[in-house]
């Protein structure tokens, strides 16, 4: 067994493990090439005060069974809560067949789909994802996904300036989710984009202010959201015509599941559709993974980041899939590249494609109808307690904002102890909570939570 390392070989400062690819001699040769005497010298520029100066707190070797016990013990410390929170991440049901399909080897080929002859599974599900998302958004083309909805929206912002001639100002609605605004601000700062936030009025974007800014004829694009940070459904009638009249683009960020029942960006006349597709069958996690979608009209395809997969036939006339566009720095001149995020959320694409295929238009509508009914029932029951009051009187789908007549923070903490995650604190609005409910929430769960709220004096 010549390929096995000598596990008894221990050198000063370096213990040989089977998963370390380099021997002490390998390291010595590399250090000689770069002119450094030791690994310590290699990191000499790192300030001493931020170095650890002790051994890592890692236990000795464990068996597989012992490691599983440790991990399960850590997991047992989590307290699962019944989720009534949203703000961009929603607790929808994932059909059990999806993880089974995603685990199949034909879809588990190499992440990088450049070699079509060995990546047909990967290329196929990306192609299907693109087709489904273009149809859902009413757009011509979808790329092969982004990291999440925040970065997808930032990419839409940069598409606006890339398509404009000598314009670097982009408007964005203040009613966007706070995380989306924060990421767009960061991207704008380091890409020289003048990002102007359009204020809200009565919980929705102030269209009069947006009009005034667009009519100055120095705006590259306007980005709006549906539903917005308060859960409200906004009216974008006339926005596309206004933008196009003044040579600006319109981008709409929509919670993906809602596209099954609300007017699509394409129906609104938008040029770009973006947002997060987590609501399409991807389970909630502690920070991810998520998947951003980015779709556009054909005229803007060369301004879109990422890659596109297309269908064709091979030499034997069989249907096959290939990469048709990949405007990445690795493939074209850096200054011509449009890909700022060089990855596709592969398995997330597969999850979304499976979910949409399984649910179909009828299933997607049913999910939203049940979520709507659940959220509106919860909304009305909370108001009946006398402990909440309306903040806005406007239509909503599965998420809404109410003001608690007491200490909302203390209420959330008390409900967490009872096993409920009651909404998300609404930024800049004292004692307000933005609360979501989906098809997973039952009447019994809602009634039990509301009864418990009635007994709490906070």
Query: What is the tally of structural domains in the chain?
Result: 2
pLDDT of 430-451, one tens digit each? 999 999 999 999 999 999 999 9
Residues 366 and 333 in one domain: no
Find the CATH number of the domain harbouring 374.
3.90.1150.10
CA atoms within 13 A on the CB side of 234: 30
Q: How far is CA 125 from CA 137, 269, 295, 349, 416, in A?
A: 18, 28, 17, 7, 39
How far apart CA 88 and CA 401 sit, in angstroms, is: 14
From 356, 381, 416, the end of a domain falls on 356
Residues 246 and 216 in one domain: yes
Angle between helices 443-454 and 408-418 (to 10 degrees): 130
DSSP class of residue 146 equals: B
Q: With contact defined as beta carbons under 8 Å apart, do 455 and 387 qualify?
A: no
Angle between helices 149-163 and 178-190 (to 10 degrees): 40
Q: Which residue has the higher pLDDT, 386 or 109?
A: 386
Element at 322 (helix H, strand E): strand 319-326
Q: Is the dihedral of CA 195, 198, 204, 209 positive or negative?
A: negative
Helices of type H across 35-107: 39-42, 64-76, 97-102
Beta-carbon contacts of residue 38 (< 8 Å; ≥ 6 apart) = 31
Element at 36 (helix H, strand E): none
Residues 347 and 199 in one domain: yes
On whether residue 439 sits in a domain, the answer given is: yes
| Predicted local distance difference test score (pLDDT) of residue 334 | 60
What order of strands is seen across the sheet that includes strand 432-436?
388-390, 399-404, 432-436, 424-425
On whether residue 59 sits in a domain, the answer given is: no
Residue-wise DSSP of 216-283: TS-EEEEEEEES-TTSBPP--TTHHHHHHHTT-EEEEEE-GGGGGTSPPHHHHT-SEEEEE-TTTTPP
How far apart CA 329 and CA 342 sit, in angstroms, is: 9
- Is residue 302 scored above 90 in pLDDT? no
Beta-carbon contacts of residue 201 (< 8 Å; ≥ 6 apart) = 208, 209
How far apart CA 301 and CA 144 sit, in angstroms, is: 12
How far apart CA 200 and CA 173 sit, in angstroms, is: 7
Q: With contact defined as beta carbons under 8 Å apart, do 43 and 31 qualify?
A: no
Residues 160 and 300 in one domain: yes
On whether residue 264 sits in a domain, the answer given is: yes
On whether residue 411 sits in a domain, the answer given is: yes
How far apart CA 107 and CA 120 sit, in angstroms, is: 8
Domain that holds residue 380: 82-90+360-454
From 329, 356, 383, the end of a domain falls on 356
Tell me if residue 60 falls in helix, strand or coil. coil
pLDDT classification of 6: cutoffs 50, 70, 90: very low
Using CA atoms in the order 40, 46, 52, 55, what is the torsion angle rounded to 10 degrees?
A: -20
With left for phi above 0 and alpha for psi between -120 and 50, is residue 13 left, alpha or beta?
left
Average pLDDT rounded to a whole number, residues 346-364: 93
| Predicted local distance difference test score (pLDDT) of residue 325 | 77
Q: Are strands 169-173 and 219-226 parallel, antiparallel or unpaired?
A: parallel
On whether residue 23 sits in a domain, the answer given is: no
On whether residue 71 sits in a domain, the answer given is: no
pLDDT classification of 13: cutoffs 50, 70, 90: very low
The residues pairing with 82 across neighbouring beta strands, listed in sequence order, are: 420
pLDDT of 238-292, one tens digit each? 999 999 999 999 999 999 999 999 999 999 999 999 999 999 999 988 777 899 9
Residues 144 and 271 in one domain: yes
Q: Which residue has the higher pLDDT, 336 or 314?
A: 314
What's the burial of 6, exposed, middle or buried (CB within 10 Å: 0-12/13-18/19+)? exposed
Q: Which two three-digit tokens encode residue 250?
A: 């319109």
pLDDT of 369-398, one tens digit each? 999 999 999 999 999 999 999 999 999 999
From 356, 376, 395, the end of a domain falls on 356
pLDDT of 284-296, one tens digit each? 887 778 999 999 9
DSSP class of residue 94 equals: -
* Direct distance between the N- and C-terminal alpha carbons of the chain, in angstroms, rounded to an integer: 69
pLDDT classification of 219: cutoffs 50, 70, 90: very high
Find the CATH number of the domain harbouring 324.
3.40.640.10
On whether residue 330 sits in a domain, the answer given is: yes
- Is residue 92 scored above 50 in pLDDT? yes
Q: Is the dihedral of CA 204, 209, 211, 217 positive or negative?
A: negative
What's the burial of 105, exposed, middle or buried (CB within 10 Å: 0-12/13-18/19+)? exposed
């Amino acid at each position: 067994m010549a390929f096995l390392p000598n596990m008894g070989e221990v050198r000063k400062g370096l213990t040989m493990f089977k998963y370390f690819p380099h021997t002490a001699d390998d390291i010595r040769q590399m250090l000689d090439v770069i002119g450094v005497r030791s690994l310590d010298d290699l990191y000499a520029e790192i300030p001493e005060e931020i170095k650890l100066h002790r051994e890592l707190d890692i236990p000795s070797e464990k068996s597989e069974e012992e490691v599983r016990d440790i991990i399960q013990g850590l997991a047992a410390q989590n307290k699962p809560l019944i989720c009534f929170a949203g703000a961009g991440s929603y607790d929808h049901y994932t059909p059990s067949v999806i993880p089974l399909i995603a685990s199949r080897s034909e879809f588990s080929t190499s992440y990088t789909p450049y070699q079509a002859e060995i990546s047909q599974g990967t290329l196929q599900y990306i192609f299907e994802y693109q087709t489904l998302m273009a149809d859902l958004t009413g757009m011509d083309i979808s790329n092969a996904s982004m990291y999440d909805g925040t970065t997808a929206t930032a990419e839409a912002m940069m598409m606006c300036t890339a398509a404009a001639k000598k314009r670097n100002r982009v408007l964005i609605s203040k009613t966007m989710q706070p995380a989306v605004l924060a990421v767009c601000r960061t991207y704008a700062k380091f890409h020289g984009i003048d990002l102007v936030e359009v204020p809200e009025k009565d919980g929705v974007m102030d269209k009069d202010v947006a009009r005034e800014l667009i009519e100055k004829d120095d705006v590259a694009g306007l980005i709006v959201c549906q539903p917005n940070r308060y859960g409200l459904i906004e009216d974008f009638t006339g926005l596309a015509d206004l933008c196009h009249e003044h040579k600006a683009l319109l981008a709409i960020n929509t919670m993906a599941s809602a596209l099954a029942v609300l007017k699509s960006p394409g129906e609104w006349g938008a040029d770009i559709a973006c947002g997060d597709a987590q609501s399409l069958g991807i389970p909630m996690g502690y920070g991810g993974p998520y998947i951003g979608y980015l779709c556009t009209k054909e005229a803007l395809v060369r301004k879109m980041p990422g890659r596109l997969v297309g269908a064709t036939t091979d030499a034997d006339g069989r249907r096959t899939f290939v990469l048709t566009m990949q405007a990445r720095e690795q493939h074209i001149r850096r200054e011509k590249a449009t890909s700022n995020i060089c990855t596709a959320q592969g398995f997330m694409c597969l999850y979304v494609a499976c979910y949409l295929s399984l649910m179909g238009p009828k299933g997607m509508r049913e999910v939203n109808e049940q979520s709507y009914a659940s959220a509106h029932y919860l909304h009305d029951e909370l108001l009946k307690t006398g402990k909440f009051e309306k903040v806005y009187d406007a239509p909503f789908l599965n998420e809404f904002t109410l003001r608690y007549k007491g200490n909302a923070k203390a209420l959330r903490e008390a409900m967490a102890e009872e096993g409920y995650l009651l909404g998300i604190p609404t930024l800049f609005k004292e004692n307000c909570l933005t609360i979501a409910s989906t098809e997973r929430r039952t009447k019994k769960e809602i009634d039990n939570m509301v009864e418990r709220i009635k007994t709490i004096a906070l």
